[in-house]
Amino acid sequence: MPEGDSVYKAAAKLRAALDQQVLTRTDFRVPAFATLDLSGQTVTSVVPRGKHLLIRVAEGTDTAAVDAAAAPAPAPTPAGDPGSGLTIHSHLKMEGVWQIYGAGERWRKPSYLARGVLSTASKTAVGFELGLLEVVPTASEDSIVGHLGPDLLGPDWDADLALANLLSDPARPVALALLDQRNLAGLGNVFANELSFLRGVRPQTPIGEIADPKRLVALAFKAIMVNKDRPIRNLTGLPRGKPRYWVHGRRGEACLRCGTRIESDQLGTGPTDTRYMWWCPSCQK
Ligand SMILES: [Zn+2]
């Protein structure tokens, strides 16, 4: 699963390429939206919400191209008006990525992996292997992201609310509680494992039993903030070439703190809620 910092970076890239630009061509390579054409619409904002990317478009913000004298002017639509705009909603899931190309530039991934293509006069954004791509009325965004808890990278971040949400189910393993986007939005498996290590608790520990959960929330915020603008995520702070993660993906390797072999296991209650967990049996009691 992508982490919130990856989605934040993807949104920044898309915003730089598309924001306030008129779409000249769109191509949605998903059956439900294959015939949808949003060319002529203006991108009014690009917003990350947890792990969801929202590209909002609206009619009529660029009317310069239209001969205004030729027809009675329709009622103007304010940019971003949720009453009439549409939202291109994507989720990166496992392999998804948005890439930006200049006009005529060759794509770095095969065309058959492209799910969405959004072109302006000078740039083309291509979404490859997106886990989800749909277009919904902006007014209905709540049906997509309304369930999310406070967003670690959003204007709605609220550490107290996140803490209360996490502790509302005290028996839940700490890693699964952190991964539940209804508690707080933005953490994926990397952060869930690394934060458990950094707090010295096993991912399986019930969240209600850990000491000072408030510090866990503060650490989650700090860890994602310092990584949101880094090109490569790094939780250890070690230089390039050294491990970036304390435990994630390091089964059988030596703990960077104590040398004990890192262990791993699956954790979860079902096919959609099963995750791999890693921990140091000495550092995480
Ligand atoms: Zn250790």
Per-residue pLDDT of the chain (285 residues; tens, 9 = 90+): 678 899 999 999 999 999 999 999 999 999 999 999 999 999 999 999 988 999 999 997 544 444 444 444 444 444 444 558 999 999 998 889 999 999 889 999 999 999 999 999 999 999 999 999 999 999 999 999 999 999 999 988 999 999 999 999 999 999 999 999 999 999 999 999 999 999 999 999 999 999 999 999 999 999 999 999 898 999 999 999 999 999 999 999 999 999 999 999 988 766 666 688 999 999 998
Q: What confidence score (pLDDT) does residue 104 get?
A: 87
Q: What confidence score (pLDDT) does residue 65 get?
A: 42
- Using the mean position of ligand 1's atoms as its centre, give its distance from the Cα of residue 189 in Å: 19
Q: Where in the sequence of the chain do the CATH 1.10.8.50 domains occur?
A: 159-279
CA separation for the pair 197, 282 (Å, rounded): 10
Residue closest to 117 by CA, chosen among 11, 45, 14? 14
- Using the mean position of ligand 1's atoms as its centre, give its distance from the Cα of residue 2 in Å: 26
Q: By the 8 A CB rule, do 165 and 156 touch?
A: no
Q: What confidence score (pLDDT) does residue 94 get?
A: 82
> Degrees (nearest 5) of the Cα angle 48, 52, 55?
60
- Using the mean position of ligand 1's atoms as its centre, give its distance from the Cα of residue 123 in Å: 47
Q: What tokens does 230 get?
A: 């880094």
Q: What confidence score (pLDDT) does residue 69 get?
A: 42
Q: By the 8 A CB rule, do 14 and 125 touch?
A: yes
Q: What tokens does 75 get?
A: 């009622």
Q: What tokens does 10 get?
A: 């993807």
User: In 2-41, which ranges are E strands?
Assistant: 25-28
Q: Which of 9, 51, 199, 244 is catalytic?
A: 51
134 is catalytic: no
What is the domain class of 4-145 according to CATH? alpha beta
Q: What confidence score (pLDDT) does residue 61 get?
A: 54
275 is catalytic: yes
Length of the chain: 285
Q: What confidence score (pLDDT) does residue 172 get?
A: 94
Question: What is the four-CA torsion angle of 226, 228, 233, 235, rounded to 10 degrees?
Answer: 30
Q: Where in the sequence of the chain do the CATH 3.20.190.10 domains occur?
A: 4-145
- Using the mean position of ligand 1's atoms as its centre, give its distance from the Cα of residue 262 in Å: 8
141 is catalytic: no
- Using the mean position of ligand 1's atoms as its centre, give its distance from the Cα of residue 284 in Å: 7
Q: Which distant-in-sequence residues (6+ apart) come within 8 Å of 3 by Cβ?
A: 51, 186, 187, 188, 190, 191, 224, 227, 233
Angle separating helix axes 189-198 and 213-227, nearest 10 degrees: 130
Going by the DSSP 8-state scheme, the letter that residue 91 receives in this structure is: E
Q: What confidence score (pLDDT) does residue 101 get?
A: 98
- Using the mean position of ligand 1's atoms as its centre, give its distance from the Cα of residue 97 in Å: 34
Q: Which of 9, 49, 199, 275 is catalytic?
A: 275
Check whether domain 159-279 has CATH 3.30.70.270, yes or no: no
Q: What confidence score (pLDDT) does residue 62 get?
A: 47
2 is catalytic: yes
- Using the mean position of ligand 1's atoms as its centre, give its distance from the Cα of residue 191 in Å: 17
Cα separations (Å) of 80 from 17, 85, 120, 133, 191? 17, 6, 18, 20, 33
CA separation for the pair 20, 3 (Å, rounded): 27
